[in-house]
Structure 1
């Protein structure tokens, strides 16, 4: 161990212009780093630690008293390498988005408010339930005269259905019929008759007959009638 310490002390230091220091055998000093293949670690009460090229303590041997430890230090990263490759605070700051940038490019509340449709416009274009009720045509809103005319027309349809002519067959010369007719809520009664006026009036065994009837509405006292003629052969 004494010989090891003597060898290290013979080539104990190398200095660089930037202040880097290399201690131990094979020392090299550059502006950014200090290198030494051999270093001494003093484990006395006031310890000083000398670190080699990469600052990693490996292959340590100690004497029986435990006063000194000799190590080979060859594979770590120097402080100069860390400073060279590190991302600095300035680089982070240059790439960040600041609150000023957000404020410049963002859409403000005033722009949204200016383009919005205001409440008055919505209310002016809205169709209210009152307007729907006013525009709707209901049976209750019709005048009594109009409602009476509608009922009379329905009763007239019922009268027409009740005016069915009787059928005459063979030598029959006259016939009558009584019928009932209904349409929607209207009802009517009808009386119809058919009579033969003559035979062979046009030659060839023809028969001429006339028919007619009258009907009465049961709700509005509506009266209707019909008359007609027929030639058969």
Structure 2
């Protein structure tokens, strides 16, 4: 991604992005190699980030700190998509009823997808809920492909780069052929199938997606299923309230 022209801010954002991409944390040397900065610059930035609780350190390993929650929480609180989508996710959860499944609201952030809301049925095993990540590469998950397939090709290439776009292009064609539905099987967890649909105004690029992921649900996660129709109506209802 092209820098903003404000060097210190670009460097801070580069460190933050790499730290956000791993749960185990990174050393200053690893961050220097990943960003191309010298270690002295990395250490100075990390020291400042620790002062503002943007970063925590333990035994020379750096992770994002609790201070990152403040702007993230403020953003989510005012995000219309999350507020409007909430009753629709509850309704889908009720439709799924006693099946082990999770309903999520997905938001694109650059070349990543962040799940900003998740609801699960009582039949869903706790380890499935606890172990499932809430951030994925946009081209490697069901909701991401549902969104990416709505982008003009130039925008999609700019988002993920030419190499990743060429790899995911056949999957995007499948989404188009399925009328906008995206499917995944055992991508994030063995045995977990998923179906996603974009939230968009008309033919514009999607601003988000709803995704249903469940165990042993291949039979109902199909374009012809009643659950797929419920999912499509939910996304349409959200879009209508968002855009009028």
- Structure 2 length-normalised TM: 0.17
Structure number with the higher strand fraction is 1
Structure number with the higher helix fraction is 2
Q: Which has the larger radius of gyration?
A: 1
